[in-house]
Structure formats: C-alpha cells, structure tokens
Amino acid sequence: MSTGVQNLPRVRASELVGRGWLNTGGRTVTLSELRGKVVVLDFWTFCCINCLHVLDELREIEEQHRDELVIVGVHSPKFEHEADADALAAAVERYDVRHPVLDDPELVTWGAYTARAWPTLVVIDPEGYIVAQMAGEGHGSAIAALVTDLISEHAAKGTLHRGSGPYVPPAPASGTLRFPAKALALPGGTLLVADAGHHSLAELAPDGETLVRRIGSGERGLVDGAPGDARFSEPNGLCLVPDELRAPLGYDVLVADTVNHALRGVRLADGVVTTVAGTGEQFMVGGQENVRGRDGEPARAYEPGTAVAPLDLRLSSPWDVAWSAVRGAFVVAMAGNHTLWEVDLLQGSAALLAGTMNEGLEDGPGEGAWFAQTSGVVPSVDADGRPDGHLWIADSETSSLRRVVLSDGAGDAPSATVRTAVGQGLFDFGHRDGAADQALLQHPLGVATLPDGSVVVADTYNGALRRYDPATTEVTTLAKDLAEPSDVLVEVADDAVHLVVVESAAHRLTRVALPASLAGEVLDGGAHRVARPATDVGAGPLRLDVPFVPAPGQKLDDRWGPSTSLQVSATPPELLLAGAGSGTDLFRDLVINPEVTEGVLHVTAKAASCDEVPLLPNGEPDPDVFPACHLAQQDWGVPVRVVPDGDAGLTLPLRG
C-alpha cells in the first residue's frame, strides 16, 4: 500500500499580508523579524469546529516552546460575518487565542500558501523555509515532534534565536458574563447560564442581570466537586433532568462541557459537579481508541450501533443536550463529529443516534444522514404546544434548521429520520425570508419552540432571531441587530410571549417581546456563497494525491487494518466519470467529465500513526511499552473549474 507521499521542495515562506493584526499591540508582524524562530501558521476561521480543536491541540506546544516558537493565526473567513473585524476580535478573545493573528479577509495569504482547507498548518523553519504543510486536525503530536527537532537542529547550527515573540496579550475583560453560550430557566424562576468565557455556570436572578451564585472556579479544566473547586472548559448546552430521574441520578442539570469533551451533572441544592459521560479526550473519527478498555482490556474503536458505558466513550465537542421521552435518553448534539448521540445515564449506555460523521447536508434515516456541526437541539411541540416526541436541530455549518423524527425503535422504523426544513448546504448562506425552500440562515447556534409549534432560530452570524412556521413553511425575522445570539429561551406569562436572548458577543441576556400573532417581518438581505478561488482542472484524467508523512518518532499504524483511507465524491455527482468512492491508498486516478464546467470535489482522508516502540538490547520491541495512537483527518471541499488548459493533478497535503 502506498501513502502517496511526496517531499515538498525547499521553498521560501511568503510574506504575511492582510488587513491588520490582533494580539500584537497594533504592530505589523513580518516574517523577517521572526527569522530565528520556528513559525507555525494556523489558517483558521472561527466558525469551524476543527479549527477550534486545533487551537486546543496547539496550546500546550505553544506554552512549552514560547521562547523558540511563534504561532501565527491566519484568519481566513468562510462566512460573511467572519470577515467583520470586530467579530474576529471578539472570537480571538472568546477562544483565548494567545498568539498573533493576521486578519486576512480577502484570502491573500491563504492563496499565497495554496491553502484549501480549514484548518491548514504550515511549519516554517528558523531560516524562513517551509518544511511541512498539514490539513485538518490530529497533528498535535506531529507538530510537537517537528518543533522539537527543528529547535535542536537550528540550535546546533546557530540559526535559532531564543526570546519573547511578538504576542501582546489584550487587556483583561470584566463583567458578570463573558461570551455566554446557552441559558436555562430553573424551576425556582432563576436563570442558569453557561458562561463559556468564564469556564463556569452563572445563576442569575429573574431579571437576567443579578448574579445569584457561580458554579465553577473560573479556571479552565476538568475537575469535579464543590462549586468553588469544580472546573469547566467553555461549557455550552444545558438541560434539566426530568423530575423522576433527579433522585436516582443525583443531579438536576446536565451540561455539555464542550472543550472538555464531557457531560457534567450539577446538583442545584449545593452546586456539586460530577462528570457523567466522556473520558475528557476527543473522539477521533476512525480512531482505534475511542472506547476506554475495562479490566485490563485495551481501548477499542467505536462501532456504530453499539452501546457503551458513557464514562468509557470519548466525546467530541458536545454543544447542546436535550431530553427525549421517546428515546428515554438525553440527545447530545455532538458538533465535533457532526452527529447526534443518545445517552441513557440511568442504565449507563451511550450510542450513536444519527449521523455518519461525514460533514454535509443529507437527509433520510439517521444512520445515513449527514450533519455539519450540530449546535442546538430542542424537543418540538405541536400546534397546541404539546410535546410531539421529535426534535429540532440547529446545524450551524450548513446554516440549516433540521427536524429529527424519532421512534421508540419498535418494528422496522428507523430510530431517527432527518429532514431539512431550512438550508441549502455547506456553502450557501444569507439572510432571506419567505418560502422555506428559498430561505437562508447564517451559522445558527440555537433553537427554541413557540407555543403554536413554530420554531425560533438564534441565527447567530446574521445577528437575528428567525421564525419558521411548519404550518405555512414560511420563514420570517422576529428581531435583528443582535450581537451573535447563540441561544433563546421562551417565556410565556399572561398570554404574552417574551424571548430571552443570549447575546454572546455583547456578554448579556436580552429580552425581546413578541406580538400576539408571533409573526415577524419578511426581509431579504441577499444570498451568499462561500468565496474561495476555484482550482482549474482539465477534462479527463486527474491524479489526486494526498501526501502524508508520519511525524518524527512515529510510523504508520496498521495494527487494526489499513492505516490510511481516502473517500472521494463530487457535487454535482456527474462531475466525476470515474474515481468516486472509498479506498485505502492516499492517491486516486479520477476522470473529470468534460460536459460539466464547474463543481466541488469532496475529499476525506485519514491516516493513523503510532509512536515507535523502543528496542531492548536484544533488538526486540519493549513489551512493556504500548505505542500511543495518533489519527490525522481532514475533509476538503475543493471548488474546481473545468478548462481546456487545466491541471492534470491535484495535491492536498494531509501532512507533507
């Protein structure tokens, strides 16, 4: 089996060009002033969950080598909202980015480095040459090993300069809330807020402003215990535990603790926090250690359809959670691997409910449905306000509202069936009301239901609240000019309906009154598509190569089967006359249809590597050392244009 590895030529790194800089005290940073440092360019966009995973992968490396290493974030926006300078500044603060960030809204530097995916990492040596390019997540160990080798090499050559870099920390922020994510109405009338920027939960008085108490120390971490000792890491979704389960479970609220890849239980009487699902490590799609072993058994891969103990399962950025009476379980919007999971905490089981872990917009039975960063989940109600047993989903990266019809599993009916109510796909977004099949959202994160069965969507990047009416299949706008609304609560009192909006970028809760009709206005702010330069390809044969080189001290890991995989498809499907499908080689001979002038190639690549085991004096591997596994993975959506003189080859480095 070939990995399709190609050695990159020795190329000077291109200058960093953009609109401006953040985290530098207002200074412009040039590559020449970084000479003598190892530099890692992190091409990211703040909507992308994979990019957020990479930020976390880099934190420890950054702190360990702050005298020799400079990480530069190159922000290359996908959505229109992300091109706003103020929104980017808020995101850099929200996600605790501790390195310089280049604002590249026109994708100038993105193009100079031929980046084709979010995230892309480029490693530059102290002499200013590119030594590696990587796409996707799961490269933390490779970056760490490569940085260590470069430091050693250039220290010996005398070309390494130690000392502080250009990072200038921003002024500390103050306030009761900092980038709140989700909110929950508690039985006593107070509001519980996932205060993501403070890594804690804030209980507020009914006015939505007065702090009653805080649960969590405010320090990032995964620690159980009393409210002053417990630690969270960017918590998001909140769900009340059903009354009948609170005593046997021992907690009242379930929290999606996103960056900890865990679910936490909170007992309201004393604020004690307990981890109830997740190991604290990230689920890696295709990984061989997603389920922790018990009683001396090794960890193993997760098999779809299999129920495992919740504390033995790795989660991946759980973003929201809701109770399903039909399934008798909590349904978790698992943003990190584009799925829905069901967790029965009483019986002690967790299983995949819907989603293939591929990123996209595909409806149908749950086992074949595609999501993209499932970010909000709420039980649906009928026209009389009664729960109907199903769910509404805010699917952020497809800018869509999805309905999930649930069954109890009896008979031949699938456990879940997915239908899209509003949304066109990964690359289409905007602010357009009217008929649902033409309406557009922009990266929504939250969803709630109104008493008449209609749905309110926290349309985050449009700064709006949108209403979808299943009876008329019409979309309207209820409120606009909000600061990144990420969640919404519905309050009904004396026949009046108010919405409590979590304005995340304004660090507050805001109340919005609705008219008696619950109707909104019809707006048309236009339609948009993700703007990325198309790659010119020729009709006929096209060689696709996905280079992958294991990190220093690692080798390809084929202990559980083929170490690499490649999946290729196209939009429209007719773009490919040959080459679609799955295989184990990281190269593929495609055939482009001359009758199709443009489209998108969808490429998913994975490569498993493991640490090399040290040898004993007799030359045998040390049996007491179990090699750690590492999985690199990336999904590309490459826009292509079919032209007479187009390229006959396409290279997408996974790690090269």
Complete DSSP assignment for 8-70: PP-EEPPP--SSEEESSTT----TGGGTTSEEEEEEE-TT-HHHHHHHHHHHHHHHHTTTTEE
**Could you read off the pLDDT of 461-517 as tens digits, one per residue?**
999 999 999 999 999 999 999 999 999 999 998 778 999 999 999 999 999 998 877
Identity of the residue numbered 337: N
Between 343 and 114, where is the model more confident?
Answer: 343
pLDDT value for 622: 62
pLDDT value for 172: 80
pLDDT value for 560: 63
Distance of alpha carbon 300 from alpha carbon 9, whole angstroms = 38
- Output the CA–CA distances (angstroms, integers) from residue 347 to 32, 245, 248, 330, 366, in the order listed: 60, 11, 11, 12, 23
Whether the pLDDT of residue 344 is over 70: the answer is yes
**Token output for 145:** 């090993």
Whether the pLDDT of residue 7 is over 60: the answer is no
Q: At residue 505, what are phi and psi to the nearest 5 degrees?
A: -75, -10
CB-based contact 544:605 (threshold 8 Å):
no
pTM for the model: 0.88
Q: E-assigned strands of 314-399?
A: 318-324, 329-334, 339-344, 349-354, 364-365, 374-381, 387-395
Across the range 419-433, mean pLDDT stands at: 94
pLDDT value for 531: 65
Across the range 253-269, mean pLDDT stands at: 98
Please report where in the chains the tokens 């290279």 appear, as a residue.
Answer: 651
Distance of alpha carbon 508 from alpha carbon 531, whole angstroms = 32
Between 199 and 530, where is the model more confident?
Answer: 199
* Long-range contacts at 308-312 (CB < 8 A, ≥ 24 apart): 308/349, 308/350, 308/351, 309/348, 309/349, 309/350, 310/263, 310/276, 310/277, 310/278, 310/343, 310/345, 310/348, 310/349, 310/350, 311/275, 311/276, 311/277, 311/278, 311/279, 312/279
- Output the CA–CA distances (angstroms, integers) from residue 94 to 91, 178, 485, 524, in the order listed: 5, 8, 14, 30
Least confident of 351-365, 501-515, 622-636: 622-636
pLDDT value for 411: 73
Across the range 384-391, mean pLDDT stands at: 93
- Output the CA–CA distances (angstroms, integers) from residue 410 to 280, 404, 413, in the order listed: 34, 17, 7
pLDDT value for 6: 41
Band (615; pLDDT cuts 50, 70, 90): low
Sort 269 into a burial class: Cβ within 10 Å, 0-12 / 13-18 / 19+: exposed
**Token output for 326:** 């039909």
Winning range, highest mean pLDDT, from 97-101, 135-139, 565-569: 97-101
Q: Which residues on neighbouring strands pair with residue 204, listed in sequence order?
A: 191, 211
Sort 348 into a burial class: Cβ within 10 Å, 0-12 / 13-18 / 19+: middle
CB-based contact 376:487 (threshold 8 Å):
yes
**Token output for 305:** 């359809």
pLDDT more than 90, % of the chain: 75
**Could you read off the pLDDT of 209-236 as tens digits, one per residue?**
999 999 999 999 999 999 999 999 999 9
Q: Which residues on neighbouring strands pair with residue 490, listed in sequence order?
A: 499
**Token output for 412:** 């031949």
Q: How many Cβ atoms sit within 10 Å of the Cβ of residue 627?
A: 16
Band (309; pLDDT cuts 50, 70, 90): very high
Identity of the residue numbered 646: G
Across the range 56-80, mean pLDDT stands at: 94
List Cβ neighbours of 188 (8 Å cut-off, separation of 6 or more): none
Band (1; pLDDT cuts 50, 70, 90): very low
Across the range 397-402, mean pLDDT stands at: 97
Across the range 72-77, mean pLDDT stands at: 96
The verdict on whether omega for the bond into residue 304 sits within 30 degrees of 0, i.e. cis, is no
Residue 86: which of 78, 96, 98, 94 has the closest Cα? Answer: 94
Band (3; pLDDT cuts 50, 70, 90): very low
Q: What is the mean pLDDT of the chain?
A: 91
Residues 452-491: b if buried by 16+ CB within 10 A, e if exposed: bbbbbbbbbbbbbbbbbbbeeebbbbbbbebbbbbbbbbe
DSSP state of 410: -
Between 258 and 286, where is the model more confident?
Answer: 258
Q: Dihedral angle at the C-alpha atoms of 186, 191, 194, 199, nearest 10 degrees?
A: -110
Across the range 366-382, mean pLDDT stands at: 96
Across the range 627-651, mean pLDDT stands at: 85
Please report where in the chains the tokens 């584009």 appear, as a residue.
Answer: 338
pLDDT value for 242: 97
pLDDT value for 4: 37
CB-based contact 208:511 (threshold 8 Å):
yes
Please report where in the chains the tokens 């998001």 appear, as a residue.
Answer: 236
Residue 306: which of 372, 258, 359, 350 has the closest Cα? Answer: 350
Q: How many CA atoms lie within 13 A of 54 on its CB side?
A: 32
Residue by residue, what is the 3-state secondary structure of 273-301? Answer: EEEEECCCCECCCCCCCCECCCCCCCCEC
